[in-house]
Amino acid sequence: MKALLSCTALAVALFGASHLAHADDFSTPSKQSDYNNSIDSYHWVARLGYSKVHSKPSNGQLAGMKADVGSSQRPTASIEYLLTPHWGFELLVAAPFSHTVSLNGARSAHTRQLPPVLGINYHFRVHSVVSPFVGVGANYTYFFDDKTRGGLIGNSIRVDNSWGFAAHAGVDFNISKNWLVTADVRWINLDTGVKLNGQRIGNVVVNPLVYGLSVGYRF
């Protein structure tokens, strides 16, 4: 959480600085035109940032008990290929997220996951300081390092991998023709089965919101 707050403060500072920079850059129509042409000529955007996976409350039942999946935050990176200045294909990757699974409020399992997302975005107002975007895509969540905790220690647990739909929305703050700061949120359809000692004991419906803040470079 501290990392997210620090990144937010950085984004606010950079956004304020961008207004001052653009006030000078766009002082004449020719400068605005040069900036627009530069933006249109780039085809890649690389971003590096930090994201928090926030699971929805109450994730279903496992073995007749209420299941809750904890939240997690990790560094993330993405690469976006711009087919046009407005349309782009994006791949999001992350360091492994780590989640605690509680049953009836007691910590009972732990798992790690990698959640790559491939999607397509549409960017509005690409020549402006503030450029919002929306997108859709597909997510594949790979679970690994599943372990039992508490009263389940000594048993084997397995969380199934999952395919799901993803929705995406955010805003780019264009600091210059190359540099930008991005704040975004994704909703991921994540519904997966859980096995204990090889026997299926139910499903967990995580359906998280993923909040992100990143710094990007356009080239």
Find where tokens 């798992």 sit. 111
Q: CA torsion 127→133→139→145, rounded to 10°?
A: 80
Inter-helix orientation angle 2-25/29-41, to 10°:
130
What is the pTM for the complete model shown? 0.82
Reported as a single tens digit per residue, the pLDDT across 135-151 is: 999 999 999 999 999 98
Nearest Cα neighbor of 4 from 185, 189, 208 is 185
Residue 17: predicted pLDDT: 44
pLDDT-derived band at 56 (thresholds 50, 70, 90) equals confident
Structure confidence by residue, pLDDT tens digits, 58-101: 888 999 999 999 999 999 999 999 999 999 999 999 999 999 99
Q: Return the beta strands (E) in the chain as ranges.
A: 44-54, 61-62, 65-69, 72-82, 87-94, 97-103, 106-114, 117-123, 130-148, 157-159, 162-174, 179-188, 191-196, 199-205, 209-218
DSSP notation for 34-53:
HHHHHHHH--EEEEEEEEEE
pLDDT of residue 59: 86
pLDDT at 10: 45
The pLDDT assigned to 20 comes to 45
Check residues 38 and 189 and name the one with the higher pLDDT.
Answer: 189
Burial 200-215 (b: 16+ CB within 10 A, else e): ebbbbebebebbbbbb
Tokens linked to 175: 């600091």
For the stretch 118-132, pLDDT in tens is 999 999 999 999 999
156-185: average pLDDT: 96
**Is the confidence at residue 25, as pLDDT, over 80?**
no
**Measured distance CA(79)–CA(77) in Å, rounded:** 7
Q: Is the pLDDT of residue 35 over 90?
A: no
Contacts of 157 by beta carbon, 8 Å cutoff, 6+ apart: 109, 146, 147, 148, 194, 195, 196
CATH of domain 2-218: 2.40.160.20
What confidence tier does 8 reach under pLDDT thresholds 50, 70, 90?
A: very low
